[in-house]
């Protein structure tokens, strides 16, 4: 009896370890020009500190799978802040993914060529600044690995 109970306990402990623990962390960055002592300049992305109208912010969502099991069918939805305008073609991901956009607050998502706004004569292909949400779809994220998705937007 004791042996069976022990085995059950060991089995349970092992089961806990195989669950994936995926966290998502969001950060914002802005572009700065770094001037070295020798006068050389380099453009870099640093944590956003001074956000001014017209300035560009890069948002990065980092996924971290702490477990050993592979997670599948990952979908990341990111509403674009209403004070920001999405910069065309700036959405990206590490590795492979499919990116969709919404112009109706996240109710529906489509590819850019399928996104329309307006009615009647005013109906037109949505411009990047009219996007309201971004969605990334990743097939999987292996255990003990990281990935990231991101986009750039301009402050109105």
Partner 1 sequence: MKIVLFVVLSTFLFAQGVPAGTKIENQAKLEYRLGDNNITVYSNKVIDTVDQKLDMKIVCQEAEEVIVGVSEVKRALTFRLVNSGNGSDNYLFSPLSGAESNFNVLNPEIYLDNGDGIFSLANDKLVEEMNLSADGNATLFFVGDIPDDADKYSDNGIKVASEKQEGLAYGESKQVDDYYALMAVEEESLSDLCRYKVSHLAIELEKTATLSSDALYRGTTIHYKIALRVKGTGVIRNVLVEDLIPEGTEYLPNSLQLNGEEYGDFNGTAISVNVGEITQEVESDEPQHFVTFDVKVI
Q: Is 105 exposed, middle or buried (0-12, 13-18, 19+ CB in 10 A)?
A: exposed
User: According to the binding rule CB under 8 A, does residue 22 interact with partner 1?
Assistant: yes
For residue 103, give the DSSP letter: S
Tell me if 87 sits within 8 A of 131, measured CB to CB.
Answer: no
User: According to the binding rule CB under 8 A, does residue 87 interact with partner 1?
Assistant: no
Query: Cβ closer to partner 1: 55 or 118?
Result: 55
* Region from 2-10, 53-61, 96-104, 114-122 binding partner 1, contact rule CB under 8 A: 53-61
User: According to the binding rule CB under 8 A, does residue 9 interact with partner 1?
Assistant: no
For residue 120, give the DSSP letter: G
* Region from 49-57, 86-94, 107-115, 120-128 binding partner 1, contact rule CB under 8 A: 49-57
User: According to the binding rule CB under 8 A, does residue 68 interact with partner 1?
Assistant: no
Query: What is the token pair recorded at 107?
Result: 């109710």
For residue 112, give the DSSP letter: G
Helical (H) or strand (E) element with 17: helix 2-18
Candidates 6, 24, 68, 98: give the one binding partner 1 (CB under 8 A): 24
| Alpha carbon distance, N-terminus to C-terminus of the chain | 70
Residues binding partner 1: what is the number (CB under 8 A)? 49
* Region from 27-35, 96-104, 109-117, 118-126 binding partner 1, contact rule CB under 8 A: 27-35
Applying CB under 8 A, the residues found at the interface with partner 1 are: 19-20, 22-28, 30-37, 43, 46, 48-57, 59, 61, 63, 69, 71-79, 81, 83-84, 141, 154-156
């Amino acid at each position: 009896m004791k042996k069976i109970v022990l085995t059950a306990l060991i089995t349970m402990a092992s089961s806990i370890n195989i669950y994936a623990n995926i966290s998502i962390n969001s950060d914002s960055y802005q572009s700065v020009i770094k001037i070295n002592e020798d006068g050389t300049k380099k453009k870099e992305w640093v944590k956003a500190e001074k956000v001014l109208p017209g300035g560009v912010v890069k948002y990065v969502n980092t996924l971290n799978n702490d477990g050993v099991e592979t997670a599948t069918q990952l979908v990341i939805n990111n509403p674009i802040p209403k004070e920001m305008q999405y910069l065309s073609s700036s959405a990206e991901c590490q590795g492979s993914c499919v990116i969709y956009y919404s112009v109706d607050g996240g109710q529906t998502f489509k590819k850019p060529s399928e996104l329309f706004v307006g009615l009647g004569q005013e109906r037109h292909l949505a411009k990047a600044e009219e996007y309201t949400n971004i969605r990334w779809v990743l097939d999987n994220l292996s255990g003990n690995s990281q990935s990231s998705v991101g986009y750039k937007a301009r402050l109105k």
